[in-house]
Chain A
Amino acid sequence: MEIAPSAVQDEARQQVEEEALEALVGQYASTLYRVAFSILRNPSDAEDAVQEAFVRVLRHRDTLGEIRDHRVWLIRIVWNIVLDRKRRAKTRPETDDVAELARVLPADGLSAEQRAAAAQHRAHVLSCVDRLPTKEREVMVLSAFEELTSVEIASVLGITESSVRSRIFRARNLMADLLQHSRSLR
């Protein structure tokens, strides 16, 4: 049976797209996971968000060639997914997540007591981060990723670079006030 040239071309194009998608997975899956985890603070939820992000990419694989910066584009996709999930799961108490996360964070070279104290301190810091206004909190979380520039953060959030800088400035001041206030209460 004769195979149509168009069918052969489709097969070849599909093969190329799948290879490009797998390359994106290999290159950016861990970055997307960390972005998702920094907001969701749950390993399985973060992994689900990453998978959903790549499924969305698969559905729009025809436009892959038009994307200038795949990394920022992918971070933006997973960011939207994560915020959507966070919004839907807003009723869930986050205190348990914070304590769990603080225990997970690396504390090499510390004794057991120091590790427990560090975990407690980090849990407190994270709870203060959660009390920041949404806009400031989002910028502060994204700015923690060393590989993201202010221009890229602005692109992910859909705001201007100057807005990113002013928000990070306000976030730092608010964090300082919150932690100072909590220290004075002790």
Chain B
Amino acid sequence: MARLKLPIAEYVRKYGPHISDSPAHGWDHKPAVDHVVKTHCCFCGMQCGIKLQVANNQVVGFEPWEEFPFNEGRLCPKGVKRYLQTHHPDRLTKPLIRCEDGFREAEWDEALDLVVAKVRDIQARRGNNAFAMMSGVSLTNEKSYLVGKFARLALNTANLDYNGRFCMVSAGAGNKKAFGIDRAANPWTDLPEAEVILIAGSNVSECFPTLMHYIWQARDRGARIIVVDPRVTPIGRTADLHLAVRPGTDSALNQAILHELIENGWVDDGFVRERSTGWAELAASVATCTAAWAEPITGVPADQIRRAARMWGQAKTSFLLHARGVEQHTKGVDNVLSLINLVLATGRIGRKGCGYGTITGQGNGQGGREHGHKCDQLPGNRDIENPAHRAHICGVWGIADDELPHKGKTAVELFEDMHEGAIEGLINICCNPMVSHPDMNYARAALERLPFLCVIDFFMSETARYADVVLPGSLHEEDEGTSTTAEGRVVRIRAAVSPPGDARTDTWILLELARRLGRADKFTYRDNEQIFNELRRASAGGTADYAGITWPRIEQEMGVFWPCPSEGHPGTPRLFEDHRSYHPDGAFHLYPTPYRPSFEVPDAAYPIYMTSGRSVFHYLSGTQTRRIKFLVDRAPGPLCEMHPSLAERLGLADRELVTIESRRGSLTIPLAVVETIRPDTIFVPYHWPEALAANQLTVRALDPVSKMPEFKVAACRVRAATPDEAARARTLFAELRLEAPDDVARRARMEHGA
């Protein structure tokens, strides 16, 4: 039973998060730079090009990479400061094994053999699927592919899933249903060619700052921007039209916009007749969905809905962007399809300035979701239950069909199985459910009941505290590989330094575990390029076809867009130029998306909508960014955003500590009274763990198709914190700013003039 051995504060004291501000040699001395490595940012799906300065096997600074075409040197603060991680005092440099007083350091042989023994024991007693694996898409394509193969062939388990399930799977599922392919349809360079850009549920300005350049380019050419968001985010502030939609009602809004498009004759009749299926049913499904019908549901005035429809309908070119705001719902797939319907109804796809894209949130959210570490998927975005797809992968891997597991459980279902005891062991890499799992108190209970947990990570994540074995892995800048940006461009990730101390690359750890599990024959890679070359063969003929992409090509061409079926193929920046989808019938598929309420809506006991999202200063579960002082100084902890009218009604003041309660848990954090949010809704960013996790409040309900949890809608109530709650919150907030002992010592030296 993996209950914590020590109070959380003890883990924080030993392993952090500590905040650190200093480059490897301090601010007062910068060594001569040995060489500069052109790579990409480890954070969001933009994968901005960046140059890392290296001296003595340490990253000592950064330089903008102005020649890389997507960002031309532009970065966000996370990208600028990411280099501070390589030498961070919290880095794990030895394998750790759980003991009576927390963890003890161990040698690799002992730690790896313990993992292998546990895998064998659990699988012998409970069957292969009782041992599961969770992965994440901050990993490179090579690692994502390797994790998929490792889980299927070395762990022999069907139960492998990944943190994209907590991110954007509703978009992937919607894309596959509509287009038969899961990728942004256009390169970002199409954005400036659009007359109107509809941004639904994406705080582009904070989550993808460098994409703002393209949106402003469009505005400079006269484009108009529509933003759909319950908050006036920085992109919402400058929008031509901001629709402050009530959380969980996007599909109703989009149905009403479609109704208006049809009523006003703004539909491309030829396109929907010749290039799509399902138009008649779709049109009939919105016949009564007038703007007046949608107004009370969405909270958006009917005239604004009509205005949005007019802007979209009358444009000649348009681009639709969406992100987690519409995807993280129990009807996330419907929300996505309701937006795609607007694109397809107007036939504005597959040409310059006419496009569509989900803005993938995680660093390799695009590539990572293509190559087989989803429970239902094989490399090349193949279907694990499709006999032909299985046969192709079995051929590449040299196995018989009965050696390849079938579809496993999705992320939240895996945690439910751990909770119920059906799963007894888990290897977790690149995922921190103690921040990111919905209904986090349930996830904690699942981990506490789990007989064996192995975590591979470079820092002691909040999840790793629950582990029996922690294996010190590598950062993005410590291993070679590729990732695929949110626009479908495959880019090269370069190793700038080697992992510190006894830490190893994630690749080494997976290969070593595979060897000790007796499958060395299936994992005979000389280097990561060989893994990529096998990925190319495995993806060949799939929708996400990388067959023609090579590492040298990527470097020469500053990235290659998939699909790229052969080495002579130029890659495919813009999909659907022939107005054919990737479905066997070549048509674009339209689906009715009848509005239904969210899983939990406010009632008398919990009268307020709670929604969650990101801050520009943090990335995902914050394991990395909560350790960088510059970022923590600017966003130390979560704040509850609330409209002044609601604050007034509740008798609450700005910066007062408030307790937010839902049916799952409670959270005490400071209040930020802002006029930039709907009066019926509060917002809490989700990057913090345990007692400061927004996910203590969220619901564990899933989209029936994508199995994505509903992070974006929960019912809550808010009151002033009790003195005890306030005291506890102050302690927790102080803990977020704990400085690394080395930094304290260095500053003391500087202050004393030494």
Q: Are these two chains actual partners, yes or no?
A: no
